[in-house]
Structure 1
Amino acid sequence: MKRLFLLAFAVCIGAVLIGPATAQEKLRIGGAVQVFPLYYLPIYAAQENGIFKKNGLDVEWVPSQSGADLTRAFAASAIKIALSSAATDSLAIARGVPLSVIGNLQSYDDFAIWSSSKGRVAKGEDLKGGKIGVSRFGGLEHSYGQLAAKKLGIDKDVQFVSTGGINESLAALVTGSIDAVVLPAASMLTLKLEGKVREIAEIQSLLPKEWISYTITAHKDFIAKEPSTVKAVVQSIFEANRFIMSADGKAWAIAKMREINGYSAEAASASYDTLGLSKNGKIDTEGLKNLLEFLSDYQMMKKDEVPAVEKIVDDQFVK
């Protein structure tokens, strides 16, 4: 009995000692937004198909509420690696946050300008004299809206309104207090299929052909101290992407979007068709140069703040 007691005591002590260590091994992977399919699909695909486990990773998905929140998490070292956007990354690096873009999730952006189907604005030119809602001034929505207004020749005849967020923008559009919003297709699919909104200007067609939009980004200290872990994450994400973009992965991705976003079958299928997830993560430096020029032209960063491409990119894991 004494031996059994000592053995049980040893097991309990071992559990106490091992438990915290195991918890510490769980890797927190961040994301700029919680319910954006481009961010969550690779994570859930890697988790549910055993890809992370196969590569020796125990992952916790920790999405933020915005790109700015993700930048703050990186700056505080609360997150070491994340699915992000190249614009957010570039701005953070220009302001001194020690990050590197280590992979390309998707090169194009599916933002557009949308109007209410019941409103007066049926095409881009109708925005002359109107109000365009954006979540905040100085963000990507604002810059994309400025780009579209300039291309349409109405940049001096529109007013931008800072609504405070995506939901607030949609509420203002529905009530008619603004004439249009600048948002990605993923945020508008259900309303579009219900006939409540219409797309009046596609942003992608106004951008240079070479572009980069969504990324995998990591803290430089994490890359230096744990390169094998970083490599395992990158390999897992792009294996997950290859699954998502395959015939077998399509049905899984559509079901997952219906579960997470509450999409109808039609909306989920339409959302899947907009996915252009990279299968290898190769980083287009020309696309990044074009993005940096855009950020400078539209005053998201000062010209003397623009970092060199080599200070942004670390492509050792996707070569």
Structure 2
Amino acid sequence: MKKHLRRVPGIGSALLALAVITACSPASSGGPKAGGETGPGGTKKVTIQIDGTAVPYYAPLYMAKEQGFFAKAGLDVSFTYAQGSDIVKNVAAGNVDFGFPNGDSVITAYGKGVKTRVVHTTYQQGIGALLSKADANISSPADLKGKTVAVTDLGSPNYIQLQAMLKSANLTVGDVKVKTIGTGAIVDALKNGQVDAIVFSRLRYYALKSAGVDVRQILSDQYLPSFGNVVVAGPDMVKNDPKTVKAFDDALDQGIDYTTKNPAAAVDTAVKKYAPTFNGQQKDVTTIVEDVFVKTLWQSDTTRQHGFGHPDEARWQKAIDAQAGFKLIDSSFKAGDLVVKPSALG
């Protein structure tokens, strides 16, 4: 599959007030029970529950519907939204057919006995980063010693990412001052000088640059492999209805391919039909899609060899082992028990 990558100039000013893939809205109850009702034209009705709220960065899913890729695959897909941990529970319980949570929450849930299967590694990397103002003079994890660093929660993936960064420099959390600041205030805390650095979404780098902040970033993936949003399904569905899972994956692949080749059109449609609060920000969002999602999140050496959504099991294993090492789960487990290669679905 040929991929089209373009380099894009700078970022405009109206950027990302709400644009965090991990932003959470109150959890949905999961809607109607999953299970194969018939939709228009004999299509099979399925529901996917998506992490957070509707944002244009979910354009590949929206384009798979709007461009008819789901319908051609025999699916009538509905979208609902919830928090990542609730999504995993709903998929495991069969309340929804598919989920699109953050990969880190999937690992944590699996390690605690809430079993789903990752059927499409949509984001090949995590979106965490250490962000700091230039005057803090933080260019590597070693420079964090004695600094004040904020995370949203001591149980969050970002806190684990901070620990991994510190470990790479032979430091521990005892060598820094850690503050917990909520999602809505953590970026302002950095802007206002309340902290020296934050570990949060790498997308906020663009928002800070747009606001005139001289900001630096260190991507968490350099120190701890992790994953952003991935598609999960229940073990029973993977075993008993692999055809539907494969059809969903194939249509999503087409949605990614369409968005990669037509980012402006995809973003415009996503904003108009699904995320109207981003109206007026289409140009800036398109730039981020082209510079971040197309180049590093949806694509990797693995996808260039095997296709969109293919898992790098070695990276998954490192992410699983890290959660065990940092006591987020009691013990490690085999990545192959969690992730499914799309090619294995038939």
Q: Please, what TM-score do these two structures have when normalized by structure 1?
A: 0.78
Change (3 A) 1:57 1:258: closer
* Aligned with 2:235 (options 188, 209, 220): 220
- The Cα of 1:269 is off from its aligned counterpart by 0.7
The answer to whether 1:277 aligns with 2:298 is: yes
Aligned twin of 1:252: 265
Tell me how far apart the structure 1 counterparts of residues 344 and 308 of structure 2 sit (CA, whole Å): 7
* Aligned with 2:315 (options 276, 282, 287): 287
Residue type at the aligned position of 2:148? K
Change (3 A) 1:127 1:285: closer
Tell me how far apart the structure 2 counterparts of residues 21 and 215 of structure 1 sit (CA, whole Å): 26
Aligned twin of 2:71: 53
Aligned twin of 2:286: 268
Q: Would you say the 8 A contact 2:153–2:181 is kept in 1?
A: yes
Q: Would you say the 8 A contact 1:189–1:267 is kept in 2?
A: no
- The Cα of 1:194 is off from its aligned counterpart by 2.3
Identity %: 21
SS at match of 2:175: coil
Tell me how far apart the structure 1 counterparts of residues 181 and 95 of structure 2 sit (CA, whole Å): 29
Aligned twin of 2:125: 108
Question: For structure 1, which segment, 22-31 or 275-284, has the greater mean C-alpha deviation from structure 2 after superposition?
Answer: 22-31
Residue type at the aligned position of 2:146? G
Q: Would you say the 8 A contact 1:254–1:269 is kept in 2?
A: no
Tell me how far apart the structure 2 counterparts of residues 291 and 54 of structure 1 sit (CA, whole Å): 35
Tell me how far apart the structure 2 counterparts of residues 287 and 176 of structure 1 sit (CA, whole Å): 35
* Aligned with 1:87 (options 104, 113, 117): 104
Residue type at the aligned position of 2:335? V
* Aligned with 2:47 (options 14, 20, 28): 28
RMSD (Å) for aligned C-alpha atoms: 3.0
Q: Would you say the 8 A contact 1:32–1:69 is kept in 2?
A: no
- The Cα of 1:73 is off from its aligned counterpart by 2.7
Tell me how far apart the structure 2 counterparts of residues 86 and 229 of structure 1 sit (CA, whole Å): 21
Structure 1: any 5+ residue segments left out of the alignment? 1-19
The answer to whether 1:63 aligns with 2:81 is: yes
Q: Would you say the 8 A contact 2:49–2:96 is kept in 1?
A: yes
Task: Work out the number of aligned pairs and report it.
Answer: 290
Write out aligned runs for 1:1-319 (5 A).
22=39, 26-35=45-54, 38=57, 40-65=58-83, 67-116=84-133, 120-124=136-140, 125-155=142-172, 156-164=174-182, 166-196=183-213, 198-207=215-224, 213-246=228-261, 249-255=262-268, 260=275, 261=278, 263=281, 265-266=283-284, 268-275=286-293, 276-278=297-299, 279-302=307-330, 305-315=331-341, 317=343
- The Cα of 1:218 is off from its aligned counterpart by 0.5
Q: Deviations over 1:129-186 (max 9, x none)?
A: 222221211221111111222334443321222223x223223333433322112222
Question: For structure 1, which segment, 40-49 or 255-264, has the greater mean C-alpha deviation from structure 2 after superposition?
Answer: 255-264
- The Cα of 1:75 is off from its aligned counterpart by 4.2
Residue type at the aligned position of 2:298? L
Question: For structure 1, which segment, 141-150 or 182-191, has the greater mean C-alpha deviation from structure 2 after superposition?
Answer: 182-191
Change (3 A) 1:233 1:130: same
Tell me how far apart the structure 2 counterparts of residues 176 and 297 of structure 1 sit (CA, whole Å): 32
Structure 2: any 5+ residue segments left out of the alignment? 1-36, 300-306
Change (3 A) 1:222 1:58: same
Report the structure number with the largest CA radius of gyration: 1
Residue type at the aligned position of 2:264? A
Change (3 A) 1:46 1:284: same
Change (3 A) 1:135 1:202: same
